[in-house]
Every structure is written in structure tokens, then in C-alpha cells.
Amino acid sequence: MSVIFRAIPLLMGAICLAFGLYILAGPNDANHFVAGHVNIGLTAICYALFTTAATIIRQLIKRYGRVWEIVLPLSGYVVAVAAIVWGIVLANQASTPENLTAGFVVIGIGFIATCVSTVATASTKFTLIKASGALQPTDGPPHGAYSRTVGSILIAVPIVVALVGYGLAIGLLLRGDTPGFVAGHVMIGLASICAALIGLVASIVRQVRNEFAEGERFAWTWLVVAMGTINVLLGLFVLFSSSEPYRLAPGVVLIGLGLICFSILSKVLLLALVWRQTFALANRIPLLPIGTALTCLFFAAFLYEAAGTDPSYFVGAHVLTGLGAVCFTLFSIVSILEAGTSD
């Protein structure tokens, strides 16, 4: 099972990469350009999720050494930075709407991969969560936990990245043109995922350090719910506030990004429910990312059919397929979390 759970993120990443390359091999138009590059970019998130899965699993099966503690999170950051750099190159390669849109979306994907790599870094002490749970709240952190400074830095990373993402989104929206509208709204959704990951990083850090207070048991959960709800509602607003065809892609993608937030919710909720207590239905929580993955894929199926008569649906359908793969990747992570924290 440990091999399967590590293979799922790599398999989904390979599918995103192959799907993106296949799209780019098609007609040389704006729709294929954007959808192809975005799906290739999603590979970075899948790889970052693999580093998280491998970091936790190797601790659980007692095959985790100093080399893996450094290599796994570091490789995730390298891939994330590569995605950001690639996005910057795309955005500046040519002054076309498709370059700007694809470039900034890939940059936002790199931001998410950075935050997920921070989850992997925070998880290098994952097995201490149970040790902390066995202590009293006043006993302080267990032996071997990272320092308060390191914990604060880890939590600060997704906060800073989310703020940068929102700043870029505002700048794009202030352009007042169609490419800025599309890229700006999608960047809001990507930054909201980074904000949702604050809750996951903070939950892991504070539980490892035995600082997870009763009052915050569901505070981080509600943060993730809020980010997912914002994405879905904003997507619906973009879709239904105007009949302009250029609104279809960002509206659909925002809904898909909201579903990713709800996939992240499963992990934050699980950590809250099993902290210093037993939750009988903990092994049912991994069904949530399966549900979001299926929602993305079935939604994409309808959009593929619509794209047969209206090419405006093309980007939304193809990107939503990649987002479904990311949601399914998150299923493996929450399953690993359930195995490592539940009795």
C-alpha cells in the first residue's frame, strides 16, 4: 500500500504532463496553447504532493533518514521554482493574450507547489504528532520537534505566497483587458488554494510542537472552507454575470480550484478530528477528495461535449481534467494522514 500511495502522485503527474504535451501537439491556436501549458504546469503540484507522501510514508515504515529528509522537500521546491520561472518566461516570451494567460497561471501553479513543498517540509517530523498528542498541553514540544522559529517560518511561507498571488491578481485585473480579466481571476483562485494550505501547514506544525489549542481545532478547517467557497462563488459569478465567451474558461477553472480547496479540507479536517481524541469515521474522510475528483471529471465530460460546437469550452474542459487528477492525488495524501494519525 505504501508503494501505491507514493505511485499515485507520480502517475497523476505523468498523466498531466502527457495530456499537456498531447494538447500542444494539436492545432496551433490559443486554446491549445493555454490548456496544454497549464496541464503541464500541474505536474509540479503532483510532484510536490509526491514529496509529501514519500516524506510521511518513509517515516511510517521506518525507512526515513537524513538524506530523504533533505532531498524530498528540496526537490519539491526545485520543481516549484522551475514552474515559476517557466511561467515568467511564458508570460514574457510574446505579447499575446495566450502567453500572458498561460504564463501567469503557471506562475500561480508554481506558488501552490511551493506551499505543498512546505507541507512536505513540515511533515519531516510527522511521527511526532502522536507523541505530542500523548503529552499534556502544558508539557511543551516533544524531543526532536523543530524550534518555534522554524515552525513560524514554515507557517509564514504559504501566507507570503498567498499575499503575492493576490497582489498579482489585483495587478492583472487592473489592466482592464480580456487577458488580464482571465488571468487575474484564475490567479485569485490559485492564491486562495495557497491560503487554504496555510491551514494544513499550521495544523501540522502546531500539532508537532504540541501547541495545537482546542480553540483552533476547527478554525483552520473554516479557513479552508472559506477559500473553497470563495472560489466556487466567484466562478459562478464570472460565468453567470455576463454572456461573454471569454468568461467561460476562468469561471469553470475557478470552480475546479474550489474543488481542490475542498480536497485540502479533508486533510485539515482529519488532523482536527483525531487530535487527542478518537474519531470512528476517520477512514471515511479520504472519500472527500475522490468525490471532488469525480466531480471535476464528470463536469469536464459535459464541457468536452459542449466544446464540440463552441470552442470557448475547450480550455475549461481540458484544465478541469488536470484539476481532477490533482484532486485524486490528494486522496493518497489524506489516506496516508489517516493511517499515520488514527488508531
User: Please, what is the end-to-end C-alpha distance for the chain in angstroms?
Assistant: 18
Which residues, 6+ apart, have CB-to-CB distance to 76 below 8 Å?
A: 47, 48, 51, 52, 113, 116, 117, 120
Q: What is the pLDDT of residue 342?
A: 63
What is the DSSP annotation of 183-233? Answer: HHHHHHHHHHHHHHHHHHHHHHHHHHTT---GGGTTHHHHHHHHHHHHHHH
pLDDT of residue 137: 82
Whole-number pLDDT of residue 343: 56
Check residue 191 and give its pLDDT.
Answer: 98
- Amino acid (1-letter code) at residue 199: G
On whether the CB atoms of residues 34 and 311 are closer than 8 A, the answer is no
| Residue 95: Cβ within 10 Å count | 9
Predicted TM-score of the model (pTM)? 0.95
What's residue 2's pLDDT? 79
In whole angstroms, give the CA distance from residue 343 to residue 337: 12
Q: What is the pLDDT of residue 334?
A: 85
pLDDT of residue 319: 97
Could you list the mean pLDDT of each consecutive 10-residue stretch along the chain, which spans 343 residues? 89 96 94 96 96 92 89 96 97 91 97 97 91 84 91 97 97 94 97 96 94 88 96 96 93 97 91 78 82 96 93 95 95 81 62
Q: What is the pLDDT of residue 218?
A: 87
- pLDDT for 312 equals 93
